[in-house]
């Protein structure tokens, strides 16, 4: 696959911003990812389109899974219950770790100039 370096660079930046959103700067990383997607709306490269779409959709899913589900667990289980906190910590750690693993796999695929669809939370078309 003969892909220009700018297309690979945008794909790698998208995956890196997804990981930055999860690990370092939540919210700011997502806004930077949206800006990158907005800057490359109709790229001719399948690689760029794939990685931008996957990271934006995965970031939205990550926000839903980590914020809304966490609030639901606390709301339904009660703030004072130790079982709620045990379930909440287990859920958050496992879900967050899985999302990070997806991002690392996506970053590796972008660096290898290959498309990647996130398992379960990814979009099947680009």
Instruction: Tell me the residue ranges of DSSP E strands in the chain.
Output: none
Q: Give 122 or 21, the one with higher predicted confidence.
A: 21
> What residue spans define the domains of the chain?
5-111
Do residues 60 and 54 touch, judged by C-beta distance below 8 A? no
Output the pLDDT for position 124.
65
- Average pLDDT value for residue range 60-83: 93
Question: Given its phi and psi angles, is residue 43 left (phi above 0), alpha (psi -120 to 50 degrees) or beta?
Answer: beta
What's the 3-state SS for 51-83?
HHHHHHHHHHHHHHHHHHHHHHHHHHHCCCCHH
Output the pLDDT for position 59.
96
From residue 42, alpha-carbon distances to 12, 39, 54 in Å are: 17, 9, 15
- pTM, entire model: 0.90
pLDDT in tens, 13-29: 999 999 999 999 999 99
């Amino acid at each position: 696959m003969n892909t220009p370096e700018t297309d690979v660079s945008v794909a790698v930046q998208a995956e890196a911003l997804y990981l930055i959103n999860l690990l370092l700067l939540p919210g700011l990383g997502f806004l930077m990812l949206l800006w990158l997607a907005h800057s490359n709306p109709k790229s001719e490269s399948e690689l760029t389109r794939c990685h931008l779409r996957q990271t934006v959709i995965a970031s939205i899913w990550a926000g839903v899974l980590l914020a809304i589900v966490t609030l639901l667990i606390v709301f339904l289980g009660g703030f004072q219950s130790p079982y709620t906190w045990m379930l909440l910590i287990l859920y958050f750690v496992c879900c967050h770790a899985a999302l990070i693993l997806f991002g690392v796999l996506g970053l590796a695929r972008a660096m290898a100039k290959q498309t990647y669809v996130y398992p379960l939370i990814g979009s099947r078309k680009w």
